[in-house]
Amino acid sequence: MPEATFALTVGDAVTRSTQLLTEAGCDTPRLDVELLLADVLGVDRARLVLDRDQVLDADELARLGGLVCRRCTREPVAYILGRKAFRRIKLTVDPRVLIPRPETELLVEVGLSFEAGARVVDVGTGSGAVALALKDERPDLNMWATDVDADALEVARGNAERLGLDVQFVQGDMLDGVGGPCDAVLANLPYVEEGVALEAEISSYEPPGALFAGPDGLAVIRRLVGMLSGVPLVALEVGEGQATAVSELLRGSGFLEIEILRDLADHERVVVGRR
């Protein structure tokens, strides 16, 4: 009798793995599977539709199985793949840094209108997302980036080197170590209220130091705002319901003109203060 063979096509693998991720409670199971399978096969996700009848070999199946198992524990896809797209660049990410979010791209958009040659600091740079994406689109800017966390800075510096982007990285609290005055500060600092229940992807995998900021979530932003004397412009990413309180903090610190920018989900996401 011939030996039984087990053949699974791309289409079958997507269907079965999607079922597993659905049972594990993932929000976007099919998209996640497609991203993982595209990575295994080394193709664009769109290609999976055309190749849906292609049979996976044993090695491809084993690798997909491994990645799907990791995702079933709710490990974020970006950490599994080790990369995340942000504006025009691809960043290497791992659990030492927050996974850059699409809404943070608003901070980069604010920076696009800065005067030529402006000296700009990205405070709490994490993977380097804001500083690197802005430098990529505005090479004339004099970009600095700080983070208290040495491990995060190692990831950011690695990204800068790989992307060939010239950003001055400094390990320090807020603006410490940035010599001389700056024209603008951009910051996506921690703003989650202590004790809030987060999705498993965040609570089990992302660095707590990138998330939590005291009982009202404003402890870190409040400290930064108190250190901005002489800075003409600041743009701060905020959490839901924090924009009014942060606007008041900025007004109290001498920022006369306040603007609140909304993200694609229509949430108040970035507060810009100008003197």
Ligand X SMILES: C[S@@+](CC[C@H](N)C(=O)[O-])C[C@H]1O[C@@H](n2cnc3c(N)ncnc32)[C@H](O)[C@@H]1O
Q: Which two tokens stand for residue 7?
A: 């053949």
User: 189, 235, 246, 271: which one contacts ligand X (CB under 6 A)?
Assistant: 189
User: 130, 155, 185, 235: which one contacts ligand X (CB under 6 A)?
Assistant: 130
Question: Which is nearer to ligand X, 29 or 190 (by Cβ)?
Answer: 190
Q: Applying CB under 6 A, does 133 fall inside the site for ligand X?
A: no
Q: Applying CB under 6 A, does 149 fall inside the site for ligand X?
A: yes
x/- letters, 96..125, toward ligand X (CB under 6 A): --x-x---x------------------xxx
Question: Which is nearer to ligand X, 35 or 152 (by Cβ)?
Answer: 152
| Nearest CA among 182, 191, 165, 180 for reference residue 267 | 191
* Phi, psi of 81, rounded to the nearest 5 degrees: -85, -20
How many angstroms separate the CA atoms of 102 and 231, rounded? 26
Q: Applying CB under 6 A, does 136 fall inside the site for ligand X?
A: no
Tell me the CA distances in angstroms from 111 to 37, 133, 134, 181, one per residue in order: 36, 10, 7, 17
How many angstroms separate the CA atoms of 85 and 114, rounded? 23
Q: Taking the complex as a whole, how short is the minimal distance between the CB of residue 52 and ligand X, in angstroms?
A: 35
**What is the size of the binding site for ligand X (CB under 6 A)?**
23
Burial bucket for residue 223 (CB in 10 Å: 0-12, 13-18, 19+): middle
Q: Where on the chain is the footprint of ligand X (CB under 6 A)?
A: 98, 100, 104, 123-127, 129-130, 146-149, 152, 173-174, 188-190, 209-210, 220
